[in-house]
Each structure stands twice: as structure tokens, then as C-alpha cells.
Chain A
Amino acid sequence: MKILKTCLLVLFCLVAGTSLFAAGQQDSDTTNLTLMLNFQSTEAVTTAFEEVISDFHSANPSIKIDLISGTSDYEALMKSKMATNDLPDMWSTHGWSVLRYSEYLMPLEDQEWASRLHPAIKPVVTDEKGHIYVLPIDVDMAGVAYNKTVLAKAGVKVETLKTWKDLYGAMDKVKAIGVTPVHIGGKDSWTVGNFFDWAAPAVYITDPKHYSGDDLVAGKFDTAKWELLAGLMKEMNEKGYLNVDNLTSTYSDSARALAVGDAAFTFYGNYVLAEAWTFDPDADLGFFPVPAYYEGDSPSLISGERSTVGIWKDTANVEACKTFLSFLAIPANAAKIAGSNGIPAGLTDAESDTGKLKADYKKWADAPAFPYFDRAFLPSGMWDTMCSTGAGILSESMSTTEAAEKMKEDFNRMYK
């Protein structure tokens, strides 16, 4: 017993000693910052961040940054961190800098880099008071993802697809060669909502003659327009443009169908291309802007946040965080991170390498870009209604009028 006690005492002294020693080793003027990313450690973008951070550390030895890469439960983790108001110094906002995280983030529109933001991303990260809460290092630009081989076989040129009418024509040609024109993986209900996010701007926003953005922000919802939009889905379903199992297959099925040429188009972001290439690395895939709805309007791209960094408003090290963000905003650094995602940089003076999609990004560089519709123009919580009413239309249990009515009802309920 005595021996045991002595051992314990010695052990305790050792532990206490080492921790004191370690504390002594800590340079008193070193600032430790935590940065949490939603990207997994296996993704290339995490490596790019690590490289930039080590460069930063060489330039600013007094600031140390702990990078915590994400897991698939990042979103849930951040929610519980918000609920307990215990957040990291900096984190990335995966599309929600304004709607979900702004309550916890510090406004940054006074920073030097705010003037250099890419026009495609600036409106996405700005709230109605003009505050910007994150540095968007790159822009997630997307349109309709498609299989080039299938379209070549069907004799369709994407440059000619200016309006939905043109797109329908293309779908007919694709159907004629025995391929499913559009794949929707509706068992994962978000895939249905995503279609509306892609098609809604053309109906509500992109055409100046039919602009309803201000009305939406002011709390007025136009059901007639939503009927047009829901009508697109209804029509595609009735004309047999969709995969038959559009309600029981999954997003992963969509990616596979796109890769192997079972489907021509999918209404997802460019992440679907990355997913499709895991099935067939040699698949010839690309994207083109979403066609316009009204005659005389032009096609447009959908833009959103991807790699963003914001600062917790209650952080103890405001200056150190801002220094790091300025470092990230140096064109070469931003270009490195954006390039690892294969998408354009979020700053006007940074040029990134966009990999397999380089030609497509170049081709559509001049197309106007609009933010994700629901994030910019609908109250929080509507996403869910978009998904469910869409599924209602696909399962023929809802008319377009009913879907629009339901949208309006929830819009009025959630609008604050």
C-alpha cells in the first residue's frame, strides 16, 4: 500500500512538473487561435489550408493556429456549439454565413479585402444591412451539370440552350436516343428542393422585367410565379423527362447515372461532378448556365459560399484573427485554396486553377451569377417546404396550385 501511495505521489509530481514546464515553454506573447473547417481532412482543400497556415506562421511567429478539419457531423457540431455559445475563434460557414451564423460572427465589411470581393459572391455574403461576416476565399459556381458524351450523341449543343423551351427540346432529343434526360434522387428529399433553387432565379430574379426580389424581401410572395416554377417540375414529370424512380432513388444514384451516361442532366452543384468522377474518372462531364424562363432573358449561374472564414464576435483575439484573414486574402493564398477546390477565387485579383472544369468556367465567365434562391429571398425554414411540395408534385398528390399555396402559407408563417 505504501509503495502504491509513493508511486502515485511521484507520478503526480511528474505530471504537475511537466505541465508547469510546458506552460513555461509557452511564449507569453504567443496567441493561440482555433480554426474549424467543414472540410474533411482527406479533402485537398484542407491540405491547401494547412500550407497557407504554415506560411502564415513563418510570417507571424507570434500567432499559432490550430486547424480542426471537419467531419460529416460538422453542421450538427456547430449547432450544438452555438446552442452553448462556445465557438472557435474562426470557422467556415458552408453557405450559411448570413442566415445561420451572423448572430455569432463579427462584421468585417471594414476590412481592406472587402473591396476586392468577386461580384458573384459579394451579394451572397452580404446581409440586408450591408454587413459582411466572412471572407469568401472562393465561389461555388454552378449550373446544370451534364454528361457531354450523351449530349454529343443526341446532337445537342449546350451553347444553344438559352431558355427552358430550348432545354425541353434538348430533353426530347436525349429521350429519343433512349437516355433519361434528367435524374432526380428524390428519396433524399433535398435533391427535389435543389431543383427549385436552380430554376427559381430564372422565374423570380434574373429578368429585370419580371423582378420580384424586393417583394420577397419585403414579405410578399407571388404564388402565380411559384405555380410556373412548380409547373416546370410537373411538366418534366408528365413528359417522361425524369427517371421513373425519381422519388425512391438517391443522390448517389443521380451521380452514378450522370457518370455512366444513364442520364444527361442533373440540377445539382458542381459537387455532383466530383461525386460522379468517383464512379468513372474518365466520364466527360461539365456544366452550363441555367436557361432563362422568359423570352429575352439570358441564362445564369448559381453562386454560393464554399471556403469561407468568419470570426467569432466574442473571440479574445480579434486583431490576430483579422491579421490571419488579411493573409488569406493575399491573392496567391486565396488562389491556392480556391484552386484546391477547382473553382474560381472569391477575390477579383486572384486567379485559381479550376482543373477539369477550366474550359467550362472560362466559357461561362460572363454569365450573370445569382445566389441560392432560398438563402437570399426566402425566410429561414422554407427549404423544407420546397422539398416537400416538390415531392408532392412528383408523386402527383399535389397540384401546382396547392404547392404554391403551401409555399405562401409557410412563407407568411416564417417571415419575420
Chain B
Amino acid sequence: MKKLQEKSRTHSKHPHITNLMYLPALLLFTVFIVYPFLEGIRIAFTNWNGFSQHYDYVGFKNFIYLFQDKNMYTASWNTIIYGFGSTVFQQILGLSYALLLNRMILGRNFARTFVYLPVLIAPVIMGYMWYFMFQYRYGALNDILAVLGMDPVDWLAKGKRAVGLIVFVNTVQFCGISMVIYLAGLQTIPTMYYEASQIDGANAWKQFINITMPLLRPAFITSITLNLIGGLKLFDAIKAMTNGGPGYASHSLSTLIDYTYFRSQSAGYSATMGILLFAMILLFTLIIQKLSARQEVLL
């Protein structure tokens, strides 16, 4: 490879002229991501309301308030619940489905199709579809309770329950992603491993622990990373199901940023929370990378 590159260098007058080809992409990143990011940091030091010509630089006031703001703690905690909660359940569901649907059984394709289909539906629309289930009046879930002779429940009226239901909806919608990743992972495991261990008299459980789990490691890392980042960014489903309510109980940082900017008209403080959200996701991503890298070394 090195040799080739050297060769090509001697052959072409402008060895890296092709680097020009990524300029358009870099230009877009600079104008719409890097520049806004820096601008966001600047706005975070102001008390700007989002539309006035006048604002003052207020130093670290927004950052100090950030740590006194109860709603920020609620939203941060919820963000973590949405991220990790969805991730844990998605792995459990995704892996179980993959193991089940890897068998040659009737209805396999049917199940695969309908487990994966929701992944392609806009989360905001999916949120509304589940709203038909959880509504107090005429809600499909309360219909079941009525048949069982129980009183109807206003499912989304309690903060903690609403957070749980949002995790549930997000999990059910996106466990198809994990399922597909694990299915692909399972198909890369040679069957002779299983055959060999069967000869050694290992039962199915032992096989799962000693063969399947270790060999699925890359699939785990991929799936967990995807799900976790998706969960931490959660926005659409919350907007559709509770709009952050009741009160502030089910806000994630994403929805709270939106709310603070458009509703409370505190653009400066909203930008400060934006930095917090960015830092949070960066932190978790780095942790995952560190952990997965160390695992590889251990292997």
C-alpha cells in the first residue's frame, strides 16, 4: 500500500489535488455546525431573549443558574433515563428477537417485517399513534381495563409514569435496529463452533454464554452506541406524547431547550443548556469508546 502511494505521488504533479473534493462538505460543516456552535457559546453569555436588538453580556450568570435550576436536573435525569433505559430494553428485546427469529420457524418473516417497520416511521407520528393507546377517553389501553372491570387510568398524567411510557414507546419502535444488528452478528458465527461444543456435551445455555455472547461483542458495541445516542437525543416522541408535561416532569434536555427558547424567551439560557447537552453526549460517547477499546485489548 505504502509503495503504491509513493508511486502515485511520483506520477501525479499534484499529489493531493483531490483533497479539494471534500471542500464543499467542510464548508457546510463550518457554516452550519462549527460557526453555530461558537455562536451558541457566545449567546450563552448573554441575557438575550431571542428577538430583541438589545442584550447584555452577563458573564457566567446562565451557567451558575444552570446548577440551581431544578428543571435542568429533572430534564438531565430524564435524558439519562431515556438514553440508558431505552438502550437496556432495546438490547434485551433486540437480542431475544434475534435469537428467536434466527430459527427456521413459521411466521419468522412476518415478525421480522413488523418489528422493523416502525423504525421507518417518523417518531413524532409514532408518538401520536401510541397516544391513541394511552388516552384517558376512548384510549385503547383503558378499553382493556374496562373489559377487566377496572377503572380507567390517565396514563400520561403522572410524571414518572409518563417517562416510563416514553421509554417504552421509544424501545418498541427502535428495537428493530438492534434486532437486525444481532441477526447479522449471529449469521457470522460459524455453526461448527456449536457443533464442536455439542460434542463436548455443552447445553444450549452454556453455548450461549461461551460462544454466542463473546462473538457478538462487536454487534453489542455497535447497537449500544447507536441506541444510547438516539435515546439521549430523544425529542420527537416526547413532543408528541406529553410535550414535556405534566409540568416539567417528562422533559428531556432537548425538549427543555426548545421550550426555554420558544416559550420562556430565554435564548441565552437555552443556548447554555445546549452546551450542557452537547457535553453530556460527548462524555457518554467517549466513555463507550474507551470501554469498547479496552475490551478489544483484553481480548
- Please give the residue numbers on chain A whose beta carbons come within 8 Å of chain B beta carbons, in ascending order: 78-80, 82-83, 85, 100, 103, 186-189, 244-249, 380-381, 383-384, 388-392, 394-395, 397-398, 406, 413
The answer for the CA separation of A395 and B161 in the assembled complex, in Å, is: 11
CA distance A244 to B134 in the complex (A): 14
On chain B, the residues within 8 Å of A395 by CB distance are: 157-159, 245-247, 249
User: With A83-B50, A245-B137 given, is the CB distance from A388 to B154 under 8 Å?
Assistant: no
CB contact under 8 A between A247 and B157, given known A189-B245, A392-B247, A395-B247: yes
Nearest chain A CB to B265's CB is how many angstroms away? 6
In contact, B49 and A103 (Cβ under 8 angstroms): no
Our pick among A85, A103, A248, A397 for the contact of B156 (Cβ within 8 Å) is A248
Residues of chain B at the chain A interface (Cβ within 8 Å): 49-54, 65, 70-71, 134-137, 154-159, 242-249, 259, 263-266
Tell me how many residue pairs across A and B have CB atoms closer than 8 Å.
89
A245-B154, A248-B154 known; A187 vs B245 contact (CB < 8 Å): yes
In the bound assembly, the distance between CA atoms of A384 and B134 in angstroms comes to 26
Known interface pairs A248-B136, A398-B247; 16 further A-B residue pairs with C-beta atoms within 8 A, sorted by A's residue number: A79-B50, A103-B53, A187-B245, A189-B243, A245-B154, A247-B245, A247-B246, A381-B264, A381-B266, A383-B263, A391-B247, A392-B247, A392-B249, A395-B157, A395-B159, A413-B65
Bound Cα distance from A406 to B54, whole angstroms: 27
Partner of A249, one of B54, B134, B136: B136
Q: A189-B243, A395-B249, A413-B65 are in contact. Are A103 and B52 (CB under 8 A)?
A: yes
Shortest CB-to-CB span from A162 to chain B, Å, is 32
**Chain B nearest Cβ from A27, distance in angstroms:** 34
Q: Are the C-beta atoms of A79 and B158 separated by less than 8 Å?
A: no
Q: Contact at A397–B137, with CB atoms within 8 Å?
A: no
Closest 9 A/B residue pairs (Cβ): A245-B136, A395-B246, A391-B247, A392-B247, A79-B51, A384-B264, A247-B157, A247-B246, A82-B51
Query: Which of A103, A187, A244, A384 touches B242 (beta carbons < 8 Å)?
Result: A187
- State A248–B70 Cα separation when bound (angstroms): 23
Contacting A394 at CB < 8 Å: which of B134, B155, B246, B264?
B246
**C-alpha gap A85/B51 in the complex (Å):** 9
Chain A contacts for B135, CB-based, 8 A: 245, 248
Contact A80 B51 (CB under 8 A): yes
Question: Which of A80, A186, A381, A388 touches B248 (beta carbons < 8 Å)?
Answer: A388
Is the CB–CB distance between B247 and A245 below 8 Å?
Answer: no
In the complex, which residue of chain B has the Cβ closest to the Cβ of A390?
B247
A397 touches B247 (CB 8 A): yes
Q: Which residues of B lie under 8 Å from residue A388 when comparing CB positions?
A: 71, 247-248
In the complex, which residues of chain B have a beta carbon less than 8 angstroms from the beta carbon of A246? 157
Q: Which residues of A contact B65 (CB under 8 A)?
A: 413
Which residues on A sit within 8 Å (CB–CB) of B248?
388, 391-392
Q: Look across to chain B and name the residue whose beta carbon is closest to the beta carbon of A246.
A: B157
Give the nearest-CB partner of B153 in chain A: A244
Cβ contacts under 8 Å, B157 to chain A:
245-248, 394-395
Closest to B48 in A: A83
Most chain A beta-carbon neighbours within 10 Å: one of B54, B242, B249, B259: B249
* Residue contact B156 to A247, C-beta cutoff 8 Å: yes
28 contacts between A and B (CB under 8 A): A79-B51, A82-B53, A83-B52, A187-B242, A189-B245, A245-B136, A245-B137, A245-B154, A247-B157, A247-B246, A248-B155, A380-B49, A380-B265, A381-B265, A381-B266, A383-B263, A383-B264, A384-B264, A389-B247, A391-B245, A391-B246, A391-B248, A392-B246, A395-B157, A395-B158, A395-B159, A395-B246, A397-B246
Residue in B closest to A406 when the chains form the complex, CB atoms? B70
Q: Which one, A103, A188, A244, A248, contacts B54 given CB within 8 A?
A: A103
Cα A79 to Cα B137 with chains together (Å): 37
Q: How far is the CA of A380 from the CA of B54 in the complex (A)?
A: 15
Q: Which residues of B contact A398 (CB under 8 A)?
A: 247
Query: What residues on A are CB-neighbors of B259 within 8 Å?
Result: 384
With a cutoff of 8 Å between Cβ atoms, the chain A residues found around residue B249 in the complex are: 392, 395, 397
Residues of A within 8 A of B137 (CB): 245, 249
Whole-angstrom distance between the alpha carbons of A245 and B153 in the complex?
9
Q: Which residue of A lies closest to B262 (CB)?
A: A76
Contacts of A189 in B (CB 8 A): 243-245
User: What is the bound-complex CA distance between A391 and B65, given in angstroms?
Assistant: 22
Q: Are A83 and B51 in contact (CB under 8 A)?
A: yes
CA distance A249 to B156 in the complex (A): 10
* CB neighbours of B242 from chain A (8 A): 187, 248
B262 to chain A, nearest CB (A): 8
Docked pose: A388 CA to B51 CA in angstroms: 23
Contacts of B53 on A, CB cut-off 8 Å?
82-83, 85, 103
Cβ-closest chain B residue relative to A389: B247
Contacts of B246 in A (CB 8 A): 186, 247, 391-392, 394-395, 397
Chain A minimum-CB-distance residue to B263 = A384
> In the complex, what residues of A have CB within 8 A of residue B134's CB?
248
Bound together, the chains give a CA A103 to CA B48 distance in angstroms of 14
Give the distance in Å from the alpha carbon of A247 to the alpha carbon of B159 in the complex. Answer: 10
A111 to chain B, nearest CB (A): 25
Is the pair A244, B159 in contact by a Cβ cutoff of 8 Å?
Answer: no
Contact A247 to B154, CB < 8 A, known contacts A187-B245, A395-B159, A397-B159: yes
